[in-house]
Structures are given as C-alpha cells and as structure tokens.
Amino acid sequence: MTQRHPYPHADLQGAATRNTTAAELLTAFAKSAPALDHLWRHIFDALADAPALIIEIDRLRAELSALRYQRANLIAAIRATLAADDEGEHDPLFYVRDELHAQHHADARRASGGGR
C-alpha cells in the first residue's frame, strides 16, 4: 500500500543552483552601484541563509522517510499479530515485540553513528 505525498518535493539542487546564480548576478549589480551597499548587504545576507536551509530540509526529509518506514513496519507487525491471534498461534505478540526490538537496535545504531 504505497501512499502518495500530498505535495511534491522541492528541487533542492535546483534551488541551490538558482541561489548561486542570484548571488553571482547580485555581485555584478552591487559592483555597478556601490552607493547601495547597505541595501545589497541585506540581499546577500538573505541569499547566504539558503544553503543552511537546504541542508536542514534534506536532513528532515531523510528523518521523515525513516519514520515513515518504521511506521509501515509497525503496522505490518500489528497486522501480523492480529492474524496470528485469529489463527490461534501460541505467541501472536511475537511480531510486535520483534519489530520493536529491531527498531530499538536500528535507533541505537543511528545514534552511535552507525547508519541504518
């Protein structure tokens, strides 16, 4: 059951490229009108914020993706538990315990810098 995002992802690489182009154009304009230096500085400062924002968006996307993956696995484990209970299995909660255990270890690996 694949879910669609309600909104498309922004093109971060394109935004970074456009930001660089804008900074380069602004530099040329600023050289041709040095009397407006105090105004150019505000625009340069705003453009300088973009790379950090792009990095943060990328980090948040990765975190959201990982959380969605965990959620999907928990839902699958819950469904397996319910089916196992319906079939009279001896330990239907095994599926949920196993998934929680796996997610705990994955979280510990990520926290220690070990990746996924």
Supply the pLDDT for residue 2. Answer: 63
Q: Is residue 88 part of a domain?
A: yes
- pLDDT bracket for residue 109 (50, 70, 90): confident
Inside any domain, residue 5: no
**Could you tell me the two tokens for 98?**
């196993």
Q: Is residue 67 part of a domain?
A: yes
Write the pLDDT tens digit of every residue in 12-27: 999 999 999 999 999 9
Residue 83 lies in a domain: yes
Residue 69 counted as domain residue: yes
H-assigned helices in the chain: 12-32, 37-86, 94-111
Q: Is residue 95 a part of any domain in this protein?
A: yes
Q: What is the mean pLDDT of residues 59-79?
A: 95
Distances in Å between the Cα of 11 and the Cα atoms of 49, 76, 97, 106, 110 are 17, 32, 39, 29, 27
φ/ψ bin of 10: left (φ > 0), alpha (ψ from -120 to 50), beta (otherwise):
beta
**Does residue 6 sit within a domain?**
no
Q: Give the model's confidence band at 114: pLDDT under 50 very low, under 70 low, under 90 confident, else very high.
A: confident
- Answer yes or no: is pLDDT of 53 > 90: yes
pTM over 0.85: no
Is residue 56 one of the residues assigned to a domain? yes
Confidence tier at 116 by pLDDT (50, 70, 90): low
Task: State which residues form the domain around 28.
Answer: 12-111
The pLDDT of residue 115 is 61
Count up the domains in the chain and report the number.
1
